[in-house]
C-alpha cells in the first residue's frame, strides 16, 4: 500500500516512515504543502498523512486543495500547539485526525480502519448499484452519478449518502447517522453531520435531495424527476 507522508519535522517523519515501513507500507515523503499537491497530481496514493504546520502552506489549505480533485483518504497529523477541532478537520475534507505524539500501533490501526471504510469488500455491481430518481449509487466503487455525470464525494460524504440511501424517504436520526458513519473517534458532535449534509447538497446541486426533518435528522428525498 502506497502512502504519502506530508511532514516537515525530520524526526517525526523518520519515526513514521520507520514504523510504517516495518508494518509493510511503502511511503513517499514530502515536507512541503506544494510538494504534496504536485506528488498527488503525479501519483496515485492509497492514503495521505498530512501534517498541519507546514513551512509553505497551511495543512488545512493543502487538504482543501487536494479534495478538489481526489477522494483518497486523508489523516491529519496535528501537534498539540496546532490542535484543531475535529469538526473543522472534517469540514476541510479529512477522514481522521491524530494528535502528536501518537503511537505507531494506533497510527497503523487508524490507517487500516480508514482504508477499510474506503474499500468495502468486493461484490458484483448488480448487487451494489442503486438508482434513486436520476441518481445512481455504486457501493462497490463508491461512486455516485447524477444523470450520468460522476459526483466527486469524499469517503465520508459517500458513506453518509449511501447510509441515507439505504431506505430512501425514511428519516434517519442525527445520532444514528453519527454512530453508523463515524466511528467512536468522532463521536460527540452532530454538527459534523450537518456540515457533511451541506457539502453533499452543494455537490448534488440541489437542496431538495436531502430533506431536513426539524429536530430529528435527515432523509433522502425520493425524486420523481
Ligand atoms: Ca510541522
DSSP annotation string for 103-129: -HHHHHHHHHHHHHHHSPPP--HHHHE
**pLDDT per residue as tens digits for the range 5-25:** 999 999 999 999 999 999 999
- The alpha carbon of 34 and the centre of ligand 1 are apart by a number of angstroms equal to 14
What does pTM read for this prediction? 0.59
Task: Write the class of the CATH domain 2-118.
Answer: alpha beta
Q: Are 186 and 192 in contact (CB under 8 A)?
A: yes
User: Counting every residue, how long is the chain?
Assistant: 225
Q: Contact at 8 Å (CB) between 20 and 107? A: yes
Q: Mention the CATH class of domain 125-220.
A: mainly alpha
Confidence of residue 125 (pLDDT cuts 50, 70, 90): low
Q: If you measure from the C-alpha of residue 59 to the centroid of ligand 1, how many angstroms do you get, rounded to a whole number?
A: 9
Average pLDDT over residues 116-135: 71
| Whether the predicted pLDDT of 69 surpasses 70 | yes
In the reported structure, the alpha carbon of residue 151 is separated from the centroid of ligand 1 by a whole-number distance in angstroms of: 33
Q: Is the pLDDT of residue 150 over 80?
A: yes
Please write the tens of the pLDDT for every residue from 72-124: 999 999 886 676 777 777 788 898 888 888 999 999 999 998 888 777 655 55
* Mean pLDDT (whole number) for 25-40: 97
Q: Would you state the cell numbers that stand for residue 59, as one nine-digit string? A: 495543512
Separation of CA 198 and ligand 1 centre (Å):
30
| Cα–ligand 1 centroid distance for 218 (angstroms) | 38
CA of 63 to the centre of ligand 1 (A): 14
Domain boundaries along the sequence of the chain: 2-118, 125-220
pLDDT given for residue 225 in this prediction: 44
Q: Give the Cα separation of 20 and 1 in Å (integer).
A: 10
For the chain, give the percent of residues with pLDDT over 70.
Answer: 89
Average pLDDT over residues 158-170: 90
Residues 6+ apart with CB under 8 A from 83: 99
If you measure from the C-alpha of residue 53 to the centroid of ligand 1, how many angstroms do you get, rounded to a whole number? 4
How far does residue 31's CA lie from ligand 1's centre (Å)?
Answer: 8
Distance 12 CA to ligand 1 centre (A): 9
Confidence of residue 29 (pLDDT cuts 50, 70, 90): very high
Amino acid at each position: 500500500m502506497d502512502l504519502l507522508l506530508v511532514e516537515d519535522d525530520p524526526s517525526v517523519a523518520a519515526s513514521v516512515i520507520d514504523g510504517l515501513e516495518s508494518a509493510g507500507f511503502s511511503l513517499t515523503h514530502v515536507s512541503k504543502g506544494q510538494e504534496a499537491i504536485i506528488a498527488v497530481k503525479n501519483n496515485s496514493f492509497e492514503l495521505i498523512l498530512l501534517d498541519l504546520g507546514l513551512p509553505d502552506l497551511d495543512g488545512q489549505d493543502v487538504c482543501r486543495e487536494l479534495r478538489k480533485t481526489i477522494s483518497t483518504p486523508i489523516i491529519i497529523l496535528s501537534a498539540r500547539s496546532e490542535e484543531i477541532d475535529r469538526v473543522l478537520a472534517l469540514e476541510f475534507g479529512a477522514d481522521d485526525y491524530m494528535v502528536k505524539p501518537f503511537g505507531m500501533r494506533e497510527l497503523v490501526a487508524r490507517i487500516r480502519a480508514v482504508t477499510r471504510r474506503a474499500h468495502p469488500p468486493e461484490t458484483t455491481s448488480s448487487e451494489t448499484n442503486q438508482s434513486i430518481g436520476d441518481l445512481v449509487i455504486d457501493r462497490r466503487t463508491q461512486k455516485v452519478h447524477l444523470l450520468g455525470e460522476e459526483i466527486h464525494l469524499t469517503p465520508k460524504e459517500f458513506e453518509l449518502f449511501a447510509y441515507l440511501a439505504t431506505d430512501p424517504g425514511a428519516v434517519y436520526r442525527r445520532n444514528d447517522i453519527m454512530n453508523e458513519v463515524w466511528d467512536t473517534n468522532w463521536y460527540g458532535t452532530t454538527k459534523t453531520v450537518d456540515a457533511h449534509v451541506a457539502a453533499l447538497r452543494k455537490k448534488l446541486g440541489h437542496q431538495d435531495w436531502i430533506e431536513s426533518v426539524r429536530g430529528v435528522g435527515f432523509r433522502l428525498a425520493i425524486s420523481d424527476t
